[in-house]
Amino acid sequence: MNKVVIDVKNIGMRFNMSTQKVDNLKEYVIKTIKKEIKYNEFWALKDVSFQLKKGERLGILGLNGAGKSTLLKILAGVLKPTEGSYSATGRIVPLLELGAGFEKQYTGLENIYLYGTMLGYSRDFINEKLNEIVEFSELGDFINVPLKNYSSGMKSRLGFAIATVVEPDILILDEVLAVGDAKFKKKCEKKINSMFDKGITVLFVSHSLPQVQRICNRAILLEKGKLIADGSIEEVSALYEEKTK
C-alpha cells in the first residue's frame, strides 16, 4: 500500500482585514498605538483535513476566493496556519510565484545561487547543476545581466529552471504552466510530465478544469474556505461544474 506523504489536519487560516484606510506608515503607527485601528476577521480556510498518498495527483478546485492558493502556500511553507497542523514526507518543490525571492540588482547568475539557497540547495549542488539551469532557461548571455533588465517572462523562465533542477518527491503547482512563450511553455510541460512519469505526488491548482482532469487522478473541492468534497477526479469535477453553472 502506498504510504501517506501529506497529512493535513484541521487547518485554518485567519487574516485580519483593516476596516479603515490608512494613508501612510506614520498614521498607521499612531493609530496602532492609540488602538484606533479596527479589524474584521476573515477565515480563508477553516477546518480543512485530507491525506495524500505517494503517487497521487490531487487537483484543488473551487471558485475565486475559495482558499485554493492559501492552502498551497501553507503546504509549501510560505504561510503558517492559524490553527491545525500538517506534515509532509520527502522533498517538496513549490512552483508557485516563480522567482519571488529574486533580487533585481543581482545578475541572473547571482540569483541562481540566491534562489537556490532559498529552496534549500547546497552551494556544491548549485555548482554541479549550474550549466543545466542556464541551458534550460535559454537566457544565454543575459545570465550575466542584472534582473532589473529582465522581462517578466525571462524571470519566470529562470525561476522554473532553478526550481525544477531537483528530483522532487512532492510537486506543488499553481497555474505555472503559463511560463514564457508557446515553445518554452511546451518545454516546461514536457519537464513536468517527465516528473509525473516517475510517480511523484502532485498538488495542482488551475482555473482550467480540462487541465486538472488531464493531470490529476483525485480532487478536492473548496468553497468559502471549507472542504466540501474529496474523491475521484470525475466525481469532484462533476460537482464543481454544477457549482459553476
**Tens digit of each residue's pLDDT (9 = 90 or more) over 125-148:** 999 999 999 999 999 999 999 999
Beta strands in the chain (DSSP E): 4-18, 39-53, 57-61, 83-88, 92-95, 170-174, 201-205, 218-223, 226-232
Q: Is the confidence at residue 34, as pLDDT, over 90?
A: no
Q: Is the confidence at residue 180, as pLDDT, over 70?
A: no
CB atoms within 10 A of CB 37: 16
Domains and CATH numbers, the chain: 4-243 (3.40.50.300)
Distance CA 189, CA 176 (A): 10
Distance CA 98, CA 149 (A): 17
Of 32, 37, 35, nearest to 19 by C-alpha is: 37
| Range in 9-13, 103-107, 170-174 with the lowest mean pLDDT | 170-174
Of 141, 175, 177, nearest to 157 by C-alpha is: 177
